[in-house]
Amino acid sequence: MFYREAGDFSTTYPQDSQTFPIKFDRYRYYVVLAIAFLVLPFVMNDYWANAVFVPFLIYSIAAIGLNILTGYCGQVSLGTGGFMAVGAYSCYKLMTAFPEVSILIHVMLAGGITAAVVTLFGLPSLRIKGFYLAVATLAAQFFLVWLFNKVPWFYNYSASGQISAPERSVFGIVVTGPNTEAWAKYLVCLIFVTICAVIARNLTRGTIGRTWMAIRDMDIAAEIIGVNPLKAKLTAFMVSGFFVGIAGALFFAVYLGAAEVGESFGIDKSFLVLFMIIIGGLGSIFGSFAGAAFMVLLPVLLKNIFVGGLGWPTDLAAHLNFIVAGGLIIMFLILEPHGLAQLWRLAKEKLRLWPFPH
């Protein structure tokens, strides 16, 4: 009844091409932002921040990054874990080498370094396609993890081989290290997520996003109509790498505090982020958020039900988690190959006709 374009007139071109053409959506977006920025930081406690919100926000950035590469440009990557490790380790090196520079700049720089590394590993994508490329990105995953394990320079020759984030603050508020308040962690991640999502959304609906999608749909045809595959593929790798790098840096510096590369950035991290975008929806920014929320909440929920509610042992809950996650992925692929984002789109279509569907 209230969810439709009727009566909402666009009088300028920017208005005509805005992200949320329906007034209700626009207000909903502002309300969500307002709640996220103005309400949640005040009610945040340690459990909610560490178990749900901070991982959700960080994985959202990683999922947006992978979604740009896989969902928009069609290049399947199984190297996300390794690329996140690049972000984490470059952030660590920068933090320890230049302690006086703001951590926010370090995180951005870590994103830039990761973008360069990912672009390098994206070069073979010009020759190799499909599965072959997916397997080739595994080379990046294993090589990077091995590199960060074996070259002591990366972890500053620490005896344990771990990296741990020193205490850094922004405007006098501690954001990394063990003394960080829950709301500070949350707010830092939230700011990065908001900026990344806005950038990603606007990139994907512009010229560059269209060239990515043309490459995804059929690269030879795209080449014939004048899309430069070199440029399109490498920019996709670069932008994706930037987001994944930021996610990795935040994951290490803000969320974990201390990390060991094989443990925190192993192959299962690559699959986790891949699952997020499959369940959320390939080629959708909203889908990246939905998928990240789903995959973060699922284990928490199952653990609360089985361990908290029924009193089963934790290892049993972990096994059931595998079963449920795997089963859900198969179910989604069968019932709705375009993920939660497509369900959302369908719901919106229905809502526009409601309450008179005929």
List of residues contacting other proteins (CB under 8 A):
76, 124, 127-132, 134-136, 138-139, 142-143, 145-146, 149-151, 218, 220-221, 224, 267, 271, 274-275, 278, 310, 312-313, 315-316, 319-330, 333-334, 337
Task: List all residues 6 or more positions away from 190 whose beta carbon is below 8 Å from its beta carbon.
Answer: 36, 37, 57
Task: Give min distance, CB of 31 to other proteins, in A.
Answer: 34
- Closer residue to other proteins in complex, CB, 53/72: 72
- Closer residue to other proteins in complex, CB, 38/335: 335
Task: Give min distance, CB of 316 to other proteins, in A.
Answer: 6
Contact between 215 and 232 (Cβ < 8 Å): yes
Task: Give min distance, CB of 238 to other proteins, in A.
Answer: 19
- Closer residue to other proteins in complex, CB, 50/149: 149
Displacement of CA 278 from its chain's centroid (Å): 12
- Closer residue to other proteins in complex, CB, 311/355: 311
Task: Give min distance, CB of 171 to other proteins, in A.
Answer: 42
* CA–CA separation, 2 and 67 (whole Å): 32
Which tokens belong to 130?
A: 């499909």
Question: Nearest-CA neighbor of 288 among 234, 333, 244?
Answer: 244
Task: Give min distance, CB of 332 to other proteins, in A.
Answer: 8
> If you search the block for the tokens 């290892």, which residue do you land on?
315
- Closer residue to other proteins in complex, CB, 36/139: 139
Contact between 103 and 176 (Cβ < 8 Å): yes
Which tokens belong to 207?
A: 């010229």
Task: Give min distance, CB of 218 to other proteins, in A.
Answer: 7
* CA–CA separation, 172 and 80 (whole Å): 33
Which tokens belong to 257?
A: 């505090």
Task: Give min distance, CB of 242 to other proteins, in A.
Answer: 23
Task: Give min distance, CB of 206 to other proteins, in A.
Answer: 25
Displacement of CA 133 from its chain's centroid (Å): 21
- Closer residue to other proteins in complex, CB, 116/134: 134
- Closer residue to other proteins in complex, CB, 245/339: 339
Q: Which residues is 174 bridged to in the sheet? A: 169
Task: Give min distance, CB of 297 to other proteins, in A.
Answer: 17
**Could you count the other beta carbons within 10 Å of the beta carbon of residue 334?**
8
**Could you count the other beta carbons within 10 Å of the beta carbon of residue 5?**
12
Q: What are phi and psi of 173, to 5 degrees?
A: -105, 125
* CA–CA separation, 70 and 275 (whole Å): 12
- Closer residue to other proteins in complex, CB, 195/331: 331
* CA–CA separation, 69 and 63 (whole Å): 10
- Closer residue to other proteins in complex, CB, 70/176: 70
Contact between 255 and 54 (Cβ < 8 Å): yes
| Ranges of H-type helices in 158-284 | 182-204, 207-217, 219-224, 229-250, 261-264, 267-280
